[in-house]
Amino acid sequence: MYFAQNDQRSFHRMELNLPIKITKDEIEHEGLCIDLSSTGMRISFSAELLKTDDIVHIQLNTGDERFPPLDAEAKLIRVTELGPNNYTAAVEFISLT
């Protein structure tokens, strides 16, 4: 687990770097969960169709039987283009199952 020294967030984030499935309008996109907190996550992906304020479904499978998969409805709060087909987004959870 990593904690930024000057991080002003209310919830600590865990660095993960695990693959995720992002679904919007029944279309699946591959992505990566960069870090995770109790209220959201930071993700990276290559789908240029995903935009700020989109509501998506995110699935994260840990690959470890001790930890159930994360299944969330979420809102993309801030999408940043890092380069061609390279995006990062701040995600806020709406509901978790």
1-38 exposure pattern, b = at least 16 Cβ within 10 A, e = fewer: eeeeeeeeeeeebeebeeebbbebeeeeeebbbbbbee
* DSSP secondary structure code for residue 5 in this structure: T
pLDDT of residue 11: 59
Cβ atoms of 74 and 37 closer than 8 Å: no
Could you give all domains of the chain from N- to C-terminal order, each with its CATH number? 14-96 (2.40.10.220)
Q: What is the pTM of this model?
A: 0.83
pLDDT digits (tens, 9 = 90+) for 22-56: 999 999 999 999 999 999 999 999 988 999 999 99
